[in-house]
Chain A
Amino acid sequence: MNAIEIHDLHKGFEGFFLKDISFSVPQGTVMGFVGENGAGKTTTIKCMLNLIKKEYGEILLFGKDHVEHELSIKNDIGVVFDDLHVPETLNATQLDKIMRKVFQTWDSDYYFERLAQFKVPKRKKIKELSRGMRMKLSIALALAHHPKLLILDEPTSGLDPIIRDEILDLFLAFMQDETHSILFSSHITSDLEKIADYITLIHNGEILLSESKDALLYEYGIFKGNSEEVNDLPEHAILRTRPGAFGIEALVLKNEVNEAFRLERPSIEDIMLFFVKGSV
């Protein structure tokens, strides 16, 4: 079963469109949702959560329509935005009292365990917390009702590598249960390399690719050479090219290229740059 299924999602604003977005997140996997700022990641996520209304298309969460079954779906998801959107005069203990009334499955013990693990002060007002602490609190809030799906919109942006690593470990622990899934939107591609099973790349409101991370990292290769050398590559093997420091760089299908060509292993960032800035 797919935790998330999106078919032909369309949403238009002045000067920006989400164009026929389609991708799915299989249950038990982590989908890295990657793209530059303004590519449409947050808009897609907002459509999924019905925070903004889609123009057309189908969005299924746990196989159910996201508007028709909105409340039952929202019982099973945890959402983390790039900031904690709760009144700043509240503190973590007050939020526990509130959430206990919102979720039937709210687990206060688990919540306070996470706060202790993250060293988030229980009684300090949110406005007095650092950005890192706010994000950790936001993640504890998203996890404490034991959701099946986490929807994370840039949860690690603006955080230092130590905190990011701690947060990623927590997500990996969440994924120990094979019915759990994560949609992880980020432009920090190294985070996605650590945690994602699949990568979906969005650019200018369009999905450029949606594939398994291993396929991307092991089936693709980068060839660096001059234009003549690149011309020697089989045409069907070349996915994208772009000017490099010493001539031309080409993103190629590894298995379609003779072993005589020396290929480098690409990173998610390389692939993103090839697809966004390279030419076909």
Chain B
Amino acid sequence: MVGLILKDLMTIQRQMKAQAFVLIFLLVMAIFMQQSAMLLAVIVFIVTIQAITALSYDEQSKWDKYANTLPISKADIVFSKYILSVMLMIFGLVMALPILFFINFFTNNDITSEFFLTFNLIITSALCLLAVLLPIYIKFGSIKGRIVLIAFCFIPGFLTGMFKEYIPDMTQTFLYLKQYVYLAPLGGLILLCLSSLVSTAIYKRKEF
């Protein structure tokens, strides 16, 4: 497992370096726009999504064919991608938070409860995104996976549009749910755990 995570970190190392420039640009923008939440969201998403980059590299080199000749269980191969994603997310947060406080300090924005709401939502969205992305990419590969993902994004929107009149006003529901938002990351984490079980089941049925 450690070997697999190490391999992924080494593989995406260069990619991360390239994206550091994007982050610097965003940092400058965030300072000017005084939008620290945006910076947090971008950093967390860019870093978290690197697990997908690692999967694409694996696919390109047919790594799974080789990995499955090594004394590593299929469950470990899948699980390593989830651990990597969560590790990267924590890394993203550790990187982003001091910058954020720094920006807030200079722009005299106080850390408000609104900020914690955004913070929770960003983490939850990142966890949910991974929980959906990883099984799709493991099942379909990166090219087909992208198409499935697009379909996955459009279908709910399309359905909502079609049956708009049958859907009650959600504003009240959202306001009601807002008080439980601090539990949301936990929900995201549970979803991610369930997703890892689904991915393992998919991976075990794959042939290389």
Contacts and interface: CB of A to CB of B under 8 A. Distances in A.
A102 B3 contact: yes
Given A52-B207, A101-B3, A103-B71, A94 B61 contact: no
B6 interface: yes
Interface stretch (B7-15, B167-175, B184-192): B7-15
A87 B14 contact: no
Given A81-B65, A85-B61, A74 B71 contact: yes
A231 interface: no
A74 B73 CA distance: 10
25 contacts: A46-B207, A51-B69, A51-B208, A52-B208, A70-B73, A74-B71, A75-B71, A79-B66, A79-B69, A85-B62, A85-B63, A86-B61, A86-B63, A87-B11, A88-B61, A89-B13, A89-B14, A89-B57, A97-B6, A97-B10, A100-B3, A101-B3, A102-B3, A103-B70, A151-B69
B61 A74 contact: no
Q: Which 8 A-B pairs have the closest CB atoms?
A: A101-B3, A85-B66, A79-B69, A102-B3, A52-B207, A74-B71, A87-B57, A85-B62
Between B13, B62, B71, the greatest number of chain A beta carbons within 10 A of the residue's beta carbon is seen for B71
Interface of B: 2-3, 6-7, 10-11, 13-14, 57-58, 60-63, 65-66, 68-73, 207-208
A197 B173 CA distance: 75
A144 interface: no
Nearest to A83: B62
A51 B72 contact: no
Contacts of B70: 74, 102-103
Nearest to A126: B61
Interface of A: 46, 49-53, 70-72, 74-75, 77, 79, 81, 83-90, 94, 97-103, 151
B69 A77 contact: yes
Between A72, A77, A94, A98, the greatest number of chain B beta carbons within 10 A of the residue's beta carbon is seen for A98
Given A50-B68, A81-B65, A90 B2 contact: no
Contact of A49 (B6, B61, B69, B73): B69
Contacts of A49: 68-69
Contact of B7 (A53, A74, A87): A87
Contact of B71 (A86, A90, A102, A151): A102
Contact of A90 (B10, B65, B69): B10
Nearest to A104: B71
A141 to B, nearest CB: 9
Given A87-B57, A89-B14, A90-B10, A51 B63 contact: no
Nearest to B72: A102
B207 A53 contact: yes
A86 B59 CA distance: 10
Given A86-B61, A87-B60, A88-B61, A81 B66 contact: yes
A51 B68 contact: yes
B75 to A, nearest CB: 11
A98 B7 contact: yes
Given A87-B60, A101-B3, A74 B69 contact: yes
Contacts of B3: 98-102
Contact of B6 (A75, A86, A88, A98): A98
Nearest to B67: A85
Contacts of A52: 207-208
A52 B69 CA distance: 12
Contacts of A75: 71
B7 A90 contact: yes
Between A84, A100, A101, the greatest number of chain B beta carbons within 10 A of the residue's beta carbon is seen for A101
Contacts of B63: 85-87
Nearest to A97: B6
